[in-house]
Amino acid sequence: MEKWGEIKIEEGLKTLSTWERSGDRIRKEFRFRDFIEAFSFMSGAALHSEKMNHHPEWSNVYRTVTVELTTHEAGGLTEKDFQLASILDSLAS
Q: What's the pLDDT band for 1 if we cut at 50, 70, 90?
A: confident
| Contact present, 18 and 10 (Cβ < 8 Å) | no
Q: What is the pLDDT of residues 19-65, one digit of tens each?
A: 999 999 999 999 999 999 999 999 999 999 999 999 999 999 999 99
CA–CA–CA angle 47, 76, 49 (5° rounding)? 0
Residues near 8 by Cβ (< 8 Å), separated by ≥ 6?
none
pLDDT given for residue 80 in this prediction: 97
Q: Judge whether 73 counts as a catalytic residue.
A: yes
The predicted structure's pLDDT at residue 17: 85
Q: Is 81 among the catalytic positions?
A: yes
2 is catalytic: no
Confidence band, pLDDT 50/70/90 cuts, at residue 16: very high
Active site residue 50: yes
Supply the pLDDT for residue 65.
98
Q: Given this model, what pLDDT does residue 52 score?
A: 96
Structural domains of the chain in order of their starting residue, each with its CATH number? 6-13+33-92 (3.30.1360.20)
